[in-house]
Structure 1
Amino acid sequence: MSKKSFYREPTTGKIAGICAGIGRYFGIEVWWIRILAVSIFLLGGNLLVVFAYIGVWLMIDKRPISLYEENHAEDHTLKSKPWQAGKVPSELLADLDAEYQQIEGKLRKIEAYVTSDAYKVNKEFNQL
């Protein structure tokens, strides 16, 4: 298993890619990190946020190009919400409907078995 490393993500980031790098490292959506940073900035941590951001910018390396190529398939999993994957709402609803129909079919089979005589007989045999 490969060791996780923290890098700046300037290609996916807004300024220097610090928030994008933190989001990738911890597996959190980037917008949460940005909201947290802006909230701290607005709630009185002005210098703290500015100095921390500049410090991390100077200390942390950019993500190497080789890692972009190796983890290309992983980039798609960052979009954990279906609407971020580029599907139209009608497609999402159709997919959800098909999935729920499949689950409902399985549930009906389970209910039919549990309420059947075969279940009662199997239960009695297992208790012997």
Structure 2
Amino acid sequence: MDDVQGLDIIKIPSEDIWPLANPEFTRAPDALPPNAYLKRPCLFGAGCHNPHIQETILSKVEVCEVLKKHPHPNFARYLGCVVKEGRVRGLAFTKYSVTLDQMLKERTPFDKERCLRGIEAGVYHM
């Protein structure tokens, strides 16, 4: 989408998107490591019309906080919340060199049975 001239731009106040950060939430390092992935909500298209975006973000943080206390090798390593101006702006995770989605799209050979066992083990862990 190179030409943004024809788009209808709707300014969304940041307090309507980003929830207040609970002081008990794990904070990501101010300078994220190079191998970090920052998960943020989509604010384009259908994502900008989510009336529950703050609740969605907070619920994801709460799940990540529980999983941080009860880690599993098949879950992404949660580094913490990125907080700016007292609000959660994203969730930081260790970034992997390749995702399962990429492997499937690129038809990269891998042990599918082992992968499914790992997913199953993660689900049972939860």
Instruction: Judge same fold: TM > 0.5, yes or no.
Output: no
More strand by share: 2
Bigger radius of gyration: 1
More helix by share: 1
Compute the TM-score of the two structures, normalised by the length of structure 2. Answer: 0.23
Compute the TM-score of the two structures, normalised by the length of structure 1. Answer: 0.22
Q: Which has the higher contact order (CA 8 A, sep 6+)?
A: 2
